[in-house]
């Protein structure tokens, strides 16, 4: 199953929304974090549309394809994406 660009974009916005625990609205994320959303959307597209889930390498005949180790949905928001986002504030008051 391949995801459309619209679906990948919405998934990226939701991932960033969840990363900030709803601190920013989805519309605010779309408007102000566009580059990070596009980068994350492309990363998700590469992960979901161009590889087999759970596979680290595929061999067919004389051709072999290896995927980045540890590349899974739990570590999608990586340092390159975080560099484009505001620092997360972890200050809670009870």
Domain boundaries of the chain, sorted by first residue: 5-82
**11-54 pLDDT, tens digit each:** 999 999 999 999 999 999 999 999 999 999 999 888 777 655 55
Check residue 6 and give its pLDDT. 96
Model pTM above 0.85: no
Rounded distance, CA 65 to CA 56, Å? 8
Rounded distance, CA 54 to CA 61, Å? 21
- Looking from the CA of 83 toward its CB, the CA atoms found within 13 Å total 4
Check residue 60 and give its pLDDT. 80
Rounded distance, CA 69 to CA 55, Å? 10
Q: Do 17 and 26 contact (CB within 8 A), yes or no?
A: yes
Check residue 71 and give its pLDDT. 47
Rounded distance, CA 57 to CA 68, Å? 9
**51-85 pLDDT, tens digit each:** 555 556 667 888 876 655 544 545 789 999 999 99
């Amino acid at each position: 199953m391949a995801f459309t660009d619209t679906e990948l974009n919405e998934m990226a916005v939701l991932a960033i929304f969840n990363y900030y625990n709803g601190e920013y609205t989805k519309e605010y994320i779309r408007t102000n974090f566009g580059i990070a959303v596009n980068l994350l959307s492309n990363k998700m597209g590469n992960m979901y549309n161009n590889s087999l889930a759970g596979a680290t390498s595929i061999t067919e005949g004389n051709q072999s394809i290896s995927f980045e180790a540890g590349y899974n949905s739990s570590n999608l928001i990586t340092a390159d994406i975080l560099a484009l986002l505001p620092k997360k504030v972890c200050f809670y008051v009870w």
